[in-house]
Structures are given as structure tokens and as C-alpha cells.
């Protein structure tokens, strides 16, 4: 004899509730990691350059430039930490969308697109580093302040780096749009305008810090509401 419809309904509701609690916990962690990563990025952008990434020496014979090892190391550490935090942030967002997708197919596409972003982002960073290295070598070959002759440019490598960077950047952009759509749809599922505002503010430099705070507050609030309302909760 099978279970009664009412028992099956309660079981399904309990499963959905557990899914929501797990997903909202992942969103909270993702937003916290994102907030920390954005603060690290602001330090790298506004504080580190004041320490000097280049050393400028002016003499009677002219001005020379040289890399400041300590400044470059500090900048590199901050960028590395920010990158790791961003990747972890994306992993938790992807996990949240993936957790919700069996119960709400609106999150299937964001889950896939964030996965693409996770793959594309390291490629963007590595190809950008490779391109900067090629540029540095060309400048060093020609001498700072001098035109760069053709024999100082490795044309094939530069074109390859630019091509890989361009393709990866397009994929990363598509993935980032998927992330924003997923966060917006969290606002629809849990009837929270703060999620939607946060998704929009993530597009605006500096205001993305405010966006992360809004997402953290909203995720915690919605999780508390889901826990309190239990199986009686309905979604939009």
C-alpha cells in the first residue's frame, strides 16, 4: 500500500525546504567571499600603486625606469588573493544554482553559465599575464621610451595571446551575465527585491561592494524565513 498523497506532499515540501536552506547558505558564503575579494581588489587598485610599482630615477643624462620588486610582489599577492576569493565565490554561487535547479529549472541555465565563467576566468588571467610579459619583453628589447622595432615583437605569440584572451573574455562575459541572471532569479523565487538590486549594482564599479552586502543580508533574511515558515512557504 503506497503512502497517502498528503504524506507525499509534506515529504516533497520538506525536500524543497532543505534545498532552499542549503542553497541560501551557499549564496551567503559566496557573497561574503565576494565582498572580501572586492575589498582586496580596492586595496590593490588604490593603495598598492602609491607604494610604487616602478622606480623612477632622474639624472643629468635622463630619466630611467625600473620595476619596484617589493611593490610588484605586494600587488601580485593582492591580485592572487583576490583571484582565489573570486573563484571560490563563483563555486559557491554555482553550487547554489545547481542545488536549486532540480526543483526550479530557472536556475539550470545560470548554473551552466557560471561553470563556463569558472573555466574562462583563469584562461583570461593567464593569457593577460602572457600578453603583458610579451609587451614587457618588447619594451625591454627596444629600451624604455624608444619605438619598438619589428624584431623586438614576437608577432605570432602576441596574436595567439590576443586571440585566446578575446575568446576567453567573451565566454567570461557570457558566464557573468548568467551569474547576474541567477542572482536576479533568487529575488524572484524568494520575493526579495534586495537580490535584484544587488544583481544590478554588481555591474557598477565600487557599488559592487554595496551589492555584496545586500546579497548577504537578503540571503540570511530569506534563509531565516524559510526555516521559520517550513513547508507552508510558497514561491513566486
pLDDT of residue 1: 47
pLDDT of residue 201: 94
Could you tell me the sign of the dihedral formed by the alpha carbons of 189, 194, 197, 199, in that order?
negative
Backbone dihedral angles phi then psi of residue 56, each to the nearest 5 degrees: -110, 125
As a residue count, the chain comes to 236
Q: How far is the C-alpha of 60 from the C-alpha of 94, rounded, in Å?
A: 58
Task: Look at residues 75, 81, 39, 82 and name the one whose alpha carbon lies nearest to residue 54.
Answer: 75
Digit-coded pLDDT (tens) for 44-72: 777 655 555 455 455 555 444 455 555 55
Under the banding of pLDDT at 50, 70 and 90, the label for residue 77 is: confident
Strands (E), the chain: 54-59, 62-67
- Rounded to the nearest integer, the mean pLDDT of the chain is 81
Digit-coded pLDDT (tens) for 133-175: 777 777 667 665 566 667 777 778 888 889 999 999 999 999 9
pLDDT of residue 173: 96
Q: How far is the C-alpha of 28 from the C-alpha of 52, rounded, in Å?
A: 36
Amino acid at each position: 500500500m503506497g503512502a497517502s498523497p498528503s504524506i507525499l506532499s509534506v515529504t516533497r515540501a520538506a525536500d524543497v525546504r532543505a534545498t532552499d536552506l542549503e542553497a541560501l547558505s551557499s549564496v551567503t558564503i559566496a557573497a561574503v567571499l565576494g565582498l572580501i575579494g572586492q575589498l582586496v581588489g580596492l586595496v590593490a587598485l588604490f593603495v598598492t600603486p602609491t607604494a610604487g610599482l616602478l622606480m623612477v630615477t632622474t639624472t643629468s643624462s635622463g630619466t630611467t625606469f625600473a620595476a619596484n620588486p617589493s611593490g610588484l610582489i605586494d600587488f601580485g599577492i593582492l591580485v592572487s588573493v583576490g583571484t582565489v576569493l573570486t573563484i571560490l565565490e563563483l563555486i559557491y554561487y554555482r553550487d547554489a544554482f545547481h542545488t536549486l535547479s532540480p526543483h526550479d529549472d530557472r536556475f539550470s541555465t545560470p548554473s551552466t553559465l557560471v561553470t563556463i565563467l569558472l573555466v574562462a576566468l583563469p584562461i583570461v588571467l593567464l593569457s593577460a599575464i602572457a600578453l603583458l610579459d610579451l609587451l614587457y619583453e618588447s619594451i625591454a628589447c627596444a629600451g624604455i621610451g624608444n619605438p619598438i622595432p619589428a624584431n623586438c615583437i614576437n608577432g605570432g605569440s602576441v596574436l595567439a595571446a590576443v586571440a585566446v584572451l578575446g575568446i576567453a573574455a567573451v565566454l567570461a562575459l557570457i558566464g557573468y551575465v548568467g551569474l547576474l541572471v541567477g542572482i536576479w532569479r533568487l529575488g524572484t523565487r524568494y520575493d526579495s527585491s534586495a537580490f535584484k538590486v544587488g544583481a544590478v549594482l554588481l555591474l557598477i564599479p565600487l557599488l559592487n561592494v554595496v551589492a555584496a552586502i545586500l546579497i548577504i543580508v537578503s540571503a540570511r533574511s530569506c534563509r531565516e524565513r524559510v526555516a521559520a515558515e517550513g513547508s507552508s512557504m510558497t514561491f513566486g
